[in-house]
Chains A and B, each alone.
Chain A
Amino acid sequence: MAKDGEKSDWKEFLWNPRTREFLGRTASSWGLIFLFYLIFYTCLAGMFALTMYVMLQTLDEHRPTWQDRLSTPGLVIRPRADDTFEIVYTKEDTESWDLYAQTLDKFLQPYNDSLQAQKNHECAPDKYFIQEDSGEVKNNPKRSCQFNRTVLQSCSGIDDRYYGYREGQPCIIIKLNRVIGLLPGKDNQAPYVTCAAKKYRVGKDQWKDDADKIGELIYFPPNGTINSMYFPYYGKKAQVNYSQPLVAVKFLNITHNEDVNIECKINAENIPVGGERDKFAGRVSFKLRINSKN
């Protein structure tokens, strides 16, 4: 009985023929409330659009308002490691490293000497390539310096199509994240990249590193230097063809069949190294494991 009552209550709530109410409101009531919300939301949307428009007007086209989060740029390696930052492959198993070689091929494509010569400017090395705007007149587009693939020598993939992966002497390419206006190094002392065994924790207050396993390293360009002429960066709009400078590291005799933890970092006086927590500030770490069947 009570259930019936409830049911009819519901029915009446849904459509009450007596008062011609649908869900407790008449058509005109629904119309009014609908109209109200329509106007209300239109006004809100208008206001939102207006504030957004005003906000966008205040932004500079070439340089973001705040860069304080980027005072220490990050380092990135190629080939790109997966989530766990591991590069693991088996020397004899072509398939296991082929993808890495392909990634590097693709990555280095824009750095081909011919392309660079075509698009970019040959700058004077060892000093910042500054192209200031003269007052209101924007000096755009800005030119970019060439970074030729050949500079990477045996890691360029020109002589050795497999970047040393086949021999168990893999190349890792390192780049510094672009930050507009960043001038790394001081007194034209160019920043450089070094890689070393990473200290890692094995127990409480027990640290270990794989220094004995890392073997000999060779950097391209020599000493892992990033030439000052590639700085500053003027942003994607002004400097369309900017070529990000690269450093390649080749592991000549790394211990096989074992995990080797490596950390590379940028050395420049005016780039603060991030704290212990910030694993990517001015550095990058990864694990390299080359399996070998003999």
Chain B
Amino acid sequence: MSVEEVCRKFQTDLVQGLTNAKAAEFLLRDGPNALTPPPTTPEWVKFCRQLFGGFSILLWTGAILCFLAYAIQAATEDEPAGDNLYLGIVLTAVVVITGCFSYFQEAKSSKIMESFKNMVPQQALVIREGEKVQINAEEVVAGDLIEVKGGDRIPADIRVTSAHGCKVDNSSLTGESEPQSRSPDCTHDNPLETRNVAFFSTNCVEGTARGIVICTGDRTVMGRIATLTSGLETGKTPIAVEIEHFIHIITGVAVFLGVTFFILAIILGYTWLEAVIFLIGIIVANVPEGLLATVTVCLTLTAKRMAKKNCLVKNLEAVETLGSTSTICSDKTGTLTQNRMTVAHMWFDNQIHEADTTEDQSGAAFDKSSVTWLSLSRVAALCNRAQFKAGQDSVSILKRDVAGDASESALLKCIELSCGSVRMMRDKNKKVAEIPFNSTNKYQLSVHETEDPNDNRYLLVMKGAPERILDRCSTIMLQGKEQPMDEEMKEAFQNAYMELGGLGERVLGFCHLLLPEDQYPKGFAFDTDDVNFQTDNLCFVGLMSMIDPPRAAVPDAVGKCRSAGIKVIMVTGDHPITAKAIAKGVGIISEGNETVEDIAARLNIPVSQVNPRDAKACVIHGSDLKDLSQDQMDDILRNHTEIVFARTSPQQKLIIVEGCQRLGAIVAVTGDGVNDSPALKKADIGVAMGISGSDVSKQAADMILLDDNFASIVTGVEEGRLIFDNLKKSIAYTLTSNIPEITPFLFFIIVNIPLPLGTITILCIDLGTDMVPAISLAYEAAESDIMKRQPRNPSRDKLVNERLISIAYGQIGMIQALGGFFSYFVILAENGFLPSQLVGIRLNWDDRSLNDLEDSYGQQWYRKKIKIILIDMYACIYVDMFLALICGASKRRNKILIFGLFEETALAAFLSYCPGMDVALRMYPLKPTWWFCAFPYSFLIFVYDEARKLILRRNPGGWVEKETYY
């Protein structure tokens, strides 16, 4: 569309801009120029989800049954016992409190996010009714005439009508860090490629431009990507799936047992009311009330630990996701690389020199004594418009902000580092004339005075595309001497150019010439528009090549990921060659692995003849990706271990992620740009960059790397795996106490023994004494092989599998239950009720009017006293204590766990000995000897578990491992 058409379409004027009335009208029609924030779940829905999710439903059922039972009792009896009412209240309290707890934990982590929102309102310079006005970017409407200058953020998608050296940084949109120039001419049919459109939220790096707004808000390209992102449905996190699975199992068991024994109780002749009370008891015993809170706490602890290591987790459950990750799709720019052009290589004196690209200048230096190098650095420093922004003297050179384009900044920093102040050099060599870079001549030229005040010659310096520079040169500088450019040198140049280009680096050529004084005397008026001076037969000085170098820690991190069985895929919007070079540099394509093209080149055969299976690595261009069918895509993802996708669009990133997920992988995506955000959202875990990341990408991500360092991901993976292992231990620990809690009920119903463990006491165990040891297991240190084994297979390696259940319920739980029962029998027998008498005693025991119940010795007990001796719970706890020791039987000492055990004992002692507890919780002081009743059983558990582990170690892969390794 021509400028006029655009004007007509938006009823605007190229000079005057919109009228205020029109602008108001458009604003009303299109709405403000802002992205609609992604829909958020209302707070109360989140709260209710916590309140009614998971086990809560089961506990609510229990509570309602309690109230129902109490209501029935209240209606039928004069003095109803308050037990059921209290229990109902306690259950409700438990649900509400754990619900609130989880809710606040969630809220806390989501609050961190809000701090990221950029609240500063953006300003835009618009021309309305011929006047320039500064307005809020939100009020910009389609048709507005807008002016942008270097440093501005572009307030909307604009069609450029006039530009002066305008360059925009589209990296947040395309991932390409190279600034692109903008001009009024249409250069491409694709609006994304054409030069005359600048996009919303990209940055104008330099120059000025004027344009007409064509799209605002959600209709901009950026807005469309954001909409695409927020429209994506994300699946549940792996840990949520695992927990759901676990809840299903436990709920199933609870309901099954509850209903079975309800029916059994009815058949055995209990009343409805009693049967309902049993049902409540069984439900309460079965549900590990404290577990979900424990899991939340464990996840929070890990999240905190990760935050310290610069991984900020937005969504608690995402903590574990990284641990399950089997594929990481990483963006290149800013994640793997420093997002900072740096001079990597130089070619002069017919030799390639390596420059130091590391972040801390620890790399090798090159020979700086050569005269050629001095000339080269002089050219690079003088023929350069970039300069450091003021007031940064204390900042290290590499970190200083530079005004200017990326490659010039790279040169500036390089020279500043190796030769000292560039400014001084420029001061000494005053610039006389300059031709800036443009796409037609592809070079930049400037004329300077020389350093030597006696030398009145002018120095012409030029840099640009190497082949263009070469064409203008007739001589070449070798070891400081000018020599004629012969064929041999040309070939050497070609080789060097090819080699550097092959490294994915951007190569610039440099040349200079001291203009002869006779032709160009001092004061010669250089006309840059109509070039009135010599621009050929120059002296070639050298090449400098630049790259955005990989971060120092990345190769190591990639290596760690690889040894942890995680496939690292590079997905970038950049050129295939650059992408491949970086991939090789960071080890995504490891040494010795070749792509199909490499093999073809090596064997000198056409690409089509190479068996793709021979190549482990492959580089895929976005345009090829477009033509691939789903099967081909799967084939590539399955058969190549090292993949690089280059030139990909946001949509294609999404396709890649989906492809990986289709193959059953758990995918982590890292990225910083808006173009990454759909993929970030779609991924099982999206990792955004905290420093360079765009707001949209942060919004879409689950995790934010505060230091933008890919290596932090490895920490995340390690923490995630650790928390998965530790949660297993926590759950195994918590679940074992279920059996000692359920069995008393079952025996109570079936053989009519006095009830050993009241419902309230069960709650005390689950929520009080058991929780801290369970949480302390989250502090267990990692196994040494945690980063060496394969990522877990989500379809096979469950958080809670039948082996864990088998051990927790069938083995350890049973020993614990026996220990509990043993202490129960000891306590009763030592008080006078022998085990033989207990079976069937329940009716008399619970008969409220019977106050002369006879024990085995002929003594008579009145009712209150017999209740007192029902205090079995501590024996259970005692066994528990040892169990925790074992579950965590860590080779290392876990201080928190030991603290947890002390806490458990202290709390138990408090519950037992604190005056008033007999009334409140029906717990009574224990004789010291009773604490040791269950000791043989604790010891048995210890020996049993140690033996199991020993066999596991001795006999890996054996039957014991198959049946008991969880």
Q: Which residues of A contact B (CB under 8 A)?
A: 32-33, 36-37, 40-41, 44, 47-48, 51-52, 55-56, 59, 62-67, 69-70, 73-76, 80-85, 175, 177-180, 233, 235-237, 239, 242, 277-281, 284
Contacts and interface: CB of A to CB of B under 8 A. Distances in A.
B863 interface: yes
Interface string B909-932: 000000000010000000100000
12 contacts: A59-B829, A64-B859, A65-B829, A69-B831, A70-B865, A83-B848, A177-B851, A177-B852, A178-B854, A233-B858, A236-B858, A277-B919
A41 B814 contact: yes
B830 A178 contact: no
Given A37-B810, A84-B79, A51 B865 contact: no
Given A37-B810, A74-B860, A235-B858, A51 B822 contact: yes
Contacts of B811: 40
Interface string B928-966: 000000001100100000000000000000010001000
B818 A44 contact: yes
B936 A51 contact: yes
B858 A180 contact: yes
B963 A33 contact: yes
B488 interface: no
Nearest to B860: A177
Interface string B808-831: 001100110010011001100111
A12 to B, nearest CB: 15
Given A51-B822, A51-B936, A178 B858 contact: yes
A80 B936 CA distance: 45
B864 A177 contact: no
Contact of B857 (A37, A51, A83, A180): A180
Contact of B830 (A59, A62, A242): A59
Contacts of A67: 832, 859
Contacts of B834: 56, 59
B865 A74 contact: yes
Contacts, number: 120
Contacts of B861: 69-70, 74, 177
B855 interface: yes
B609 interface: no
B869 interface: yes
B252 to A, nearest CB: 15
A233 B862 CA distance: 17
A225 B72 CA distance: 45
Given A73-B862, A85-B849, A180-B859, 11 more contacts: A47-B937, A51-B936, A75-B862, A76-B860, A84-B79, A175-B852, A177-B852, A178-B854, A178-B859, A180-B858, A280-B863
Contact of A80 (B829, B849, B927): B849
Contact of B829 (A55, A63, A81): A55
A121 B811 CA distance: 57
Query: Interface majority SS on B: helix, strand, loop or mixed?
Result: helix
Contacts of B859: 64, 67, 70, 177-180, 233, 235
A115 to B, nearest CB: 19
A69 to B, nearest CB: 5
B849 A82 contact: yes
A76 B863 CA distance: 11
Q: Most chain-B CB neighbours within 10 Å: which of A40, A69, A82, A180?
A: A69
Interface in B854-903: 854-865, 868-869
Nearest to B77: A83
Contacts of A70: 859, 861, 865
B862 to A, nearest CB: 3
A280 B860 CA distance: 12
B664 interface: no
Given A33-B963, A56-B829, A233-B858, A69 B865 contact: yes
Top 8 closest pairs, chain A to chain B, by CB: A236-B858, A74-B862, A177-B860, A64-B832, A65-B830, A280-B862, A76-B852, A178-B860
Contacts of B936: 47, 51
Contacts of A41: 814
A181 to B, nearest CB: 10
Given A32-B959, A74-B865, A80-B849, A48 B829 contact: no
B529 interface: no
Nearest to B964: A36
Contacts of B959: 32
Contacts of B831: 64-66, 69
B606 interface: no
Contact of A177 (B825, B862, B919): B862
Contact of B818 (A48, A76, A84, A277): A48
Interface residues of B, number: 42
A30 to B, nearest CB: 12
Nearest to B924: A69
A76 B919 CA distance: 23
B857 A235 contact: yes
B78 interface: yes
A69 B869 contact: yes
Contacts of A280: 851, 862-864
B879 to A, nearest CB: 13
A32 to B, nearest CB: 7
Given A69-B865, A70-B865, A73-B860, A84 B919 contact: no
Contacts of B810: 37
A74 B78 contact: no
B963 A284 contact: no
Contacts of A66: 830-832, 927
A74 B854 CA distance: 12
Given A76-B851, A82-B849, A279-B864, A55 B858 contact: no
Contacts of A175: 852
A236 B666 CA distance: 72
Contacts of A239: 858
Contacts of A75: 851, 862
Given A52-B825, A66-B927, A242 B858 contact: yes
Nearest to A239: B858
A185 B919 CA distance: 31
Contacts of B963: 32-33, 36
Contacts of B130: none
B835 interface: yes
B825 A55 contact: yes
B838 to A, nearest CB: 12
Contacts of A37: 810
Contacts of A32: 959, 963
A63 B830 CA distance: 9
A84 B863 CA distance: 14
Q: Most chain-B CB neighbours within 10 Å: which of A62, A81, A235?
A: A235
Contacts of B78: 84
A66 B852 CA distance: 18
Q: Most chain-A CB neighbours within 10 Å: which of B829, B835, B848, B936?
A: B829
Q: Most chain-A CB neighbours within 10 Å: which of B829, B834, B865, B937?
A: B865
Contacts of A278: 864
A44 B814 contact: yes
Contacts of A281: 862, 864
Contacts of A242: 858
Contacts of A179: 859-860
A83 B860 contact: no
Interface in B826-848: 826, 829-832, 834-835, 848
A65 B473 CA distance: 111
Nearest to A56: B829
A191 to B, nearest CB: 16
A48 B817 CA distance: 11
Contacts of B79: 84
A5 B919 CA distance: 57
B858 A237 contact: yes
Contacts of B815: 44
A69 B848 CA distance: 18
A170 B856 CA distance: 34
A82 B940 CA distance: 48
Contacts of A48: 818, 821-822
